[in-house]
Structure 1
Amino acid sequence: MINNLKLRQLRLLVALDSERKLQLAAERLNITQSAASKMLAEIEAVARVPLFERTARGVEPTAYGSILIRGGRSVLADLDRVTNEFAGYRSGELGTVSVGTVAKPSIDLVVDVMQYLGEKLHRVSISLDVSTSPPLVARLLALELDFVVARIPAGVDPGQFDYHAIGAEQAGLLVRAEHPLAGLDSVNLEDTVDLQWIIQPRESFMRQGLERLFYSRGIAPPQRIINTE
């Protein structure tokens, strides 16, 4: 019979169990005591058994009443969870977020942001993918990612994005401690052309930026290349 009860009737049963006085239960539901009494009578008419015993101190649930109260609490708790989930999803405090980023230092930036937001994200499921900019931007356009920390590839219209420039990138060129260039006070770009390089593939922005640097000085880029991610 609990399926035939209305939510306000279930709330009255739970309020009566908590307050044990009809007047206090009515105040809790913002209704008059006579309205609460009438509602309880309607519930007992449906149940065809007494649900509360009237005493000098108030009301006490019968065995039948305890069963309905237990079921009512469960129904109302489920409804509260659904309501909270709905509100959280609508406000952005609940749901899933897919983030894509290029390699360091952008990964560190994304993690820092996640830590900064802290408690606001405790109900949000976050997935983090690491790749190069072209596939990340392609997945963003395909709605597979919500946010990306990447560079906009050449030929892609920046007007498609809500884009914020983080800042200019810096790159460091490293050699082993015993390398002949390591002992020099300054190194000319020409000194590096014929050396063995380990660098990202040609489609990467870092590789393209390096080659543009060589061309801007009128120097052909290095040819002895080992490609690496």
Structure 2
Amino acid sequence: MEQFKFKPITPNTLSALRRLRMRHLELLCHLSEATTVSAAAGKLNLTQPAVSKMISEIESVSKAALFTRGRTGIQPTIQGALLIRQACDMVQSLDRCFSEINSIEEGSSGLLRLGSFSTTSIFPKLVVDVIQQLPLLKIQIQESPPQELINALINHELDGVVTSFSREMMGDVRTKSLKLQPISTDSLCVVASKKHPFSKRRTIKWTEAVQHRWALPPKDALMTKELMYALKKMDCPDIIPVIESMSAITMKGLIQFDDNLLGIMREHQAKEEERANNLAIVKIQPKINLPDLYLVTHKQNLIPSATMQALQKALGL
């Protein structure tokens, strides 16, 4: 069993522990959305005076003005927004703790909540490897676009994410609380059916390829953004797809059964489809690189050390 050392805390924190209750944390979480004391009171099933008193108690302990009151309602100050964010983190951590306790009660050795996008073949292999190392570990999986995964991780709804990082995500100040461990490089592959005219060609230029029929993820998807960005740098016209779909399974089927359709996949996924004789990789030059893949966790890691070691071993970190 892991041993944790309780670090000394400041007198202010000790005072807060003795004077505030879990109900105060719950109130702060509701104030992240509620803009009036009345609305917060409704969520807590308390009277408005009772909630106003609780806010005063929190401000007294914090020794700071945490909210401004006006005709339009109540708004957090900079200090208030900081406290709300930390309170939400604490409640989410508590929720994760109880979920793991329930998993242990059901016979597992713990709970690991992982996220990934659906178009990577690295993730299923990772999960299988971790389970082989820790057979009693319970794993919950969420598949979503990269930005949604990062939001879930920041909000403590996930413990770790296998994903790529776009330029926009790298610029998000919230990601400073996250730890990025590189897993592999990645690139974009154009794929087609085995009978597509391009499937046997030795080399094709983008200027020719953009004129054909395409099936692409929506324009706000990371791969589509990277494709359009690269085409713009090459002075090629944008691709106007005849089909848009976020589903990797649907996209694969469409390309496989339409001999005149082109699509895009991540390189490792495209190579697996080609090895299985499902699709052909179209040899288009120049190659378009995608953002690297990372294992993303919190810098203040809450994953038990044995589970984290299994994750890192599975990824070769």
Q: TM-score, normalised by structure 2?
A: 0.39
Whether contact under 8 Å (1:192, 1:222) holds in the other structure is no
Question: Residue 129 of structure 1: CA displacement?
Answer: 1.2
Question: Residue 223 of structure 1: CA displacement?
Answer: 1.6
Question: Residue 146 of structure 1: CA displacement?
Answer: 0.6
- Residues 213, 115 of structure 1: CA spacing in aligned structure 2 closer, same or farther, 3 A cutoff? same
- Residues 221, 165 of structure 1: CA spacing in aligned structure 2 closer, same or farther, 3 A cutoff? same
What is the match of residue 148 of structure 2? 135
Question: Residue 175 of structure 1: CA displacement?
Answer: 2.3
Whether contact under 8 Å (1:190, 1:219) holds in the other structure is yes
Whether contact under 8 Å (1:199, 1:226) holds in the other structure is yes
Whether contact under 8 Å (1:99, 1:127) holds in the other structure is yes
Instruction: State the Cα deviation string for residues 168-207 of structure 1 (Å, max 9, x = none).
Output: 2122212234433334331110001221110111111111
1:210 aligns with 2:223: no
1:116 aligns with 2:129: yes
Q: Secondary structure at the match of 1:148?
A: strand
Listed as ranges, the gaps of 5+ residues in structure 2 are 1-99, 247-317
Whether contact under 8 Å (2:216, 2:241) holds in the other structure is no
What is the match of residue 213 of structure 2? 196
Runs of 4+ in 1 over 6 A off after TM superposition: none
Letter in 2 for 1:140: L
What is the match of residue 109 of structure 2? 94
Give the distance between the partners of 1:214 and 1:193, measured in 2 at CA: 9
Which has the larger strand fraction? 2
Give the distance between the partners of 1:125 and 1:118, measured in 2 at CA: 8
1:185 aligns with 2:185: no
- Residues 117, 177 of structure 1: CA spacing in aligned structure 2 closer, same or farther, 3 A cutoff? closer
Question: Residue 213 of structure 1: CA displacement?
Answer: 1.5
Question: Residue 225 of structure 1: CA displacement?
Answer: 3.9
What is the match of residue 172 of structure 2? 156
Instruction: State the Cα deviation string for residues 56-89 of structure 1 (Å, max 9, x = none).
Output: xxxxxxxxxxxxxxxxxxxxxxxxxxxxx99xx7
Give the distance between the partners of 1:189 and 1:103, measured in 2 at CA: 26
What is the match of residue 227 of structure 1? 244
Q: 2:189 aligns with which of 144, 157, 172?
A: 172
Whether contact under 8 Å (1:195, 1:224) holds in the other structure is no
Instruction: State the Cα deviation string for residues 103-159 of structure 1 (Å, max 9, x = none).
Output: 232xx4333333333465233211011111011111111110110111234142342
Give the distance between the partners of 1:167 and 1:221, measured in 2 at CA: 28
Q: TM-score, normalised by structure 1?
A: 0.53
Whether contact under 8 Å (1:194, 1:224) holds in the other structure is no
Structure with more contact order per residue of length (Cα contacts < 8 Å, sep ≥ 6) = 2
Question: Residue 99 of structure 1: CA displacement?
Answer: 0.5
What is the match of residue 82 of structure 2? none
What is the match of residue 21 of structure 1? none
Tell which structure's C-alpha radius of gyration is larger: 1
Letter in 1 for 2:209: T
Give the distance between the partners of 1:224 and 1:205, measured in 2 at CA: 16
